[in-house]
Amino acid sequence: MDVTLATGSSWTDPACPVARTVDLVGDRWSLLIVRDAMDGAATFTEFHQRLGIARNILTDRLRKLVEQGILAKSADGGDGRRHSYRLTEAGQDLFTAVVALRQWGERHAFAPGEPHSVLVDEQGRELPELRPSGQDGTPLSAGASHVRKIT
């Protein structure tokens, strides 16, 4: 899928998947909107109440997320003024990234013993820690991998 930025600006680093992803969803509010959509928020009012975000910023971020194919917008009711938002397949694919950010935050953004939320599965169990592994199942780190440029 060929994606261009909704802002009309160019990519920060056109050949880097990390840079392109940050260009699309890397600002604070966009990722929090995606997080809340994953947690069931669907309307402008729900996002506004959960995030406490300024209405104009929320309007802008929702528009951009729809334009980038991360959220889909549909009309609610007959007046055409109320809309709901749902994650597209591309938006759902951000789940692993959101879990990785959450788990990093659990390890590094809280003091020991400081209370915080946890993500649990349908049985109430905490999700296992995400860790990349090689084709043979061996755990990988940044030092055990490298970027290969494709031309």
Which pLDDT score is estimated for 114? 95
Q: What is the pLDDT of residues 67-89, one digit of tens each?
A: 999 999 998 766 667 899 999 99
Which pLDDT belongs to residue 127?
94
What class, spelled out in words, does domain 17-144 have in CATH?
mainly alpha
- Taking 60 as the threshold, does the pLDDT of residue 13 lie above it? yes
What is the pLDDT confidence band of residue 131, given thresholds at 50, 70 and 90?
very high
Model pTM greater than 0.75?
yes
pLDDT at 1: 45
What pLDDT was estimated at residue 5? 62
Cα–Cα distance measured from residue 34 to residue 77, given in angstroms and rounded to the nearest whole number = 23
CA distance 41 to 122: 18
Domain ranges of the chain: 17-144
Rounded to whole angstroms, how far apart are CA atoms 73 and 81? Answer: 12
